[in-house]
Amino acid sequence: MTVTLDRNVEAFIGSPRQLFINGQWVNAASGKTFETPNPATGETLARVAEGDAEDINRAVRAARAAFDSGPWSRMTPSERGRIVWKIGDLILEHVDELAQLESLDNGKPFLVAQAADVPLAADLFHYMAGWATKIEGNTIDISVPYMPGANFHSYTLREPIGVVGQIIPWNFPLLMAAWKLGPALTTGCTVVLKPAEQTPLTALRLAELIAEAGVPDGVVNVVPGFGETAGAALASNDDVDKVAFTGSTEVGKLIVQAAAGNLKKLTLELGGKSPNIVFDDAESSAVEGAANAIFFNHGQCCVAGSRLFVHESRYDEVVDGVAEIAKSIKLGSGLDPATQMGPLVSDEQFRRVTGFLESGRADGATALAGGGRFGDRGYFVEPTVLTNTRPDMKVVREEIFGPVVVAESFSSLDEIAAQANDTTYGLGAGIWTRDISKAHALAKKIRAGTIWINCYNVFDASLPFGGYKQSGWGREMGHEVLNNYTEVKAVTTLL
């Protein structure tokens, strides 16, 4: 059984998609297009204009003009807020359509995109819309010891940072676009967004909704293309004031180098290898929680609970339980309502994840569940639980970004803090226990940007999200993100 395709979806994928620059739908300057495949079959889903450096530069010029002299910068915060709110409303009017497009392009179950990705994207715009009228500076009573007797009036202004380049990945294509665009629009910035080559479709549909909401021409430009060309051109463009990037730590480091030319501001949301810790006194629901922590979105989550640590007294019960769940997960096309896990996003990711499985096997790890490819068509990988691992193994140290968890045991609170922090990453962590003091004590010791206690994968537009260590710079969502899209100006008057 499969979901019947929405008529808008059929029309959208039925003709080649163009770039969105300065409010116009245009072909790439080179005339080139690329295909985005359906990961459930490996067949071509749609063709998309392939932006490169020339298109990125054209989009940056449009964003610059829209920032410097367009109507956007003259709008009141209230007007801007209403437009941002409207984007959220329009997303909610098209939930099924966007969820189907996301499922087709990324592989994730339609029902998951419909319940989570799309409503969360709408909620982000609604949350951010409220901030448009609440971005404030303050007054400061200054002392200036070398000017005795002088009186001053000093205040700060919080101003939009300017033209922002946004480079996003394929794991939550629409939601990542929302996380980036919401705060940029609320603060009055203008944007050039480059979606991932694997999943450009929902960002392009979102651009249509953004125009419909009343965002002026040039404020949001969407240029699909490849990282090495379009992405690199955006990161190094001297007319871009800030880049916000989500993706691998490896590419994050390239972005840092590319940004050095004009020292543009950077925020980076990078990889993870997050510990999920189950204590001896955890509720039995921790088993399902641990499975959800790694298998949600096929493990293609930067916060995936990919290192499961279980107290030695509960190790067999919990790890066997997670393995049983892994074996019961129904894999299939994202458009089949019975599907619990779809294919990985691409052939490249499929090879990468199965490569990790081979390396684990060669290093002596045991697959308690899964361990290989599922079926013989599309990019499906079995949900996998690896045991008998050692801390130095590649499968334990590196981000796999697939449905693969490594399970280890621990014996004490002190030991587990050190084990949890034994990673170059610091994005998330889970703690499962009935002893809430112990949970908070451990939460303080773990060097990560998000800690979940007796839950996992709980996201909200009002919660700041980001990484310690090599998981990134800065925070997304919450009011924290507004600091990353604004500059502070101190103004002083001698009275």
* β-sheet bridge partners, residue 491: 155
Q: Sort strands 428-432 and 163-167 into parallel, antiparallel or unpaired.
A: unpaired
User: What secondary structure, in 3-state letters, does 366-400 show?
Assistant: EEEECCCECCCCCCCECCEEEECCCCCCHHHHCCC
Q: DSSP letters along 180-199, please?
A: HHHHHHHHT-EEEEE--TT-
CA distance 333 to 141: 62
CA distances to 273, 339, 421, 440, 488 from 430, rounded to whole Å, are 12, 26, 13, 11, 35
Stretch that binds ligand NAP, among 126-134, 245-253, 260-268, 414-422 (CB under 6 A): 245-253
If binding is defined by CB under 6 A, does position 171 make contact with ligand NAP?
A: yes
Q: Return the DSSP state at 45.
A: E
| Min separation Cβ 257 and ligand NAP, Å | 9
Task: Work out which of 47, 158, 352, 438 binds ligand NAP, going by CB under 6 A.
Answer: 352
Instruction: Give residue 415's Cα distance to chain centre.
Output: 31
**271 vs 370 by CB, closer to ligand NAP:** 271
β-sheet with 486-494: strand ranges across: 139-140, 152-160, 486-494
If binding is defined by CB under 6 A, does position 51 make contact with ligand NAP?
A: no
Contact 80, 219 (CB under 8 A): no
| Min separation Cβ 172 and ligand NAP, Å | 8
If binding is defined by CB under 6 A, does position 247 make contact with ligand NAP?
A: yes
If binding is defined by CB under 6 A, does position 270 make contact with ligand NAP?
A: yes
Stretch that binds ligand NAP, among 3-11, 250-258, 407-415, 436-444 (CB under 6 A): 250-258
| Min separation Cβ 434 and ligand NAP, Å | 32
Stretch that binds ligand NAP, among 27-35, 162-170, 381-389, 408-416 (CB under 6 A): 162-170
If binding is defined by CB under 6 A, does position 357 make contact with ligand NAP?
A: no
| Min separation Cβ 437 and ligand NAP, Å | 32
Stretch that binds ligand NAP, among 243-251, 287-295, 336-344, 449-457 (CB under 6 A): 243-251
**135 vs 301 by CB, closer to ligand NAP:** 301
Known catalytic residues are 269, 302
If binding is defined by CB under 6 A, does position 33 make contact with ligand NAP?
A: no
CA distance 126 to 123: 5
Supply φ then ψ for residue 143, to 5 degrees.
-110, -45
CA distance 464 to 480: 6
If binding is defined by CB under 6 A, does position 197 make contact with ligand NAP?
A: yes
Stretch that binds ligand NAP, among 34-42, 130-138, 161-169, 364-372 (CB under 6 A): 161-169
If binding is defined by CB under 6 A, does position 248 make contact with ligand NAP?
A: yes
**86 vs 194 by CB, closer to ligand NAP:** 194
Both structure tokens of 216: 């002026």
Identity of the residue numbered 217: D
Is residue 486 classed as helix, strand or coil in its secondary structure? Answer: strand
Q: Return the DSSP state at 216.
A: P
- Binding residues among 203-232 for ligand NAP as defined by CB under 6 A: 226-228, 231-232
Task: Work out which of 109, 271, 378, 449 binds ligand NAP, going by CB under 6 A.
Answer: 271
Task: Work out which of 49, 111, 167, 201 binds ligand NAP, going by CB under 6 A.
Answer: 167
Contact 386, 402 (CB under 8 A): no
| Min separation Cβ 247 and ligand NAP, Å | 3
**26 vs 53 by CB, closer to ligand NAP:** 53
Question: Following CA atoms 314, 316, 317, 322 in sequence, which dihedral angle do they give, to the nearest 10 degrees?
Answer: 120
Question: Following CA atoms 392, 394, 398, 400 in sequence, which dihedral angle do they give, to the nearest 10 degrees?
Answer: -140
Q: Which residues bind ligand NAP (CB under 6 A)?
A: 167-171, 194, 196-197, 226-228, 231-232, 235, 246-248, 251, 254-255, 269-271, 302, 352, 399, 401
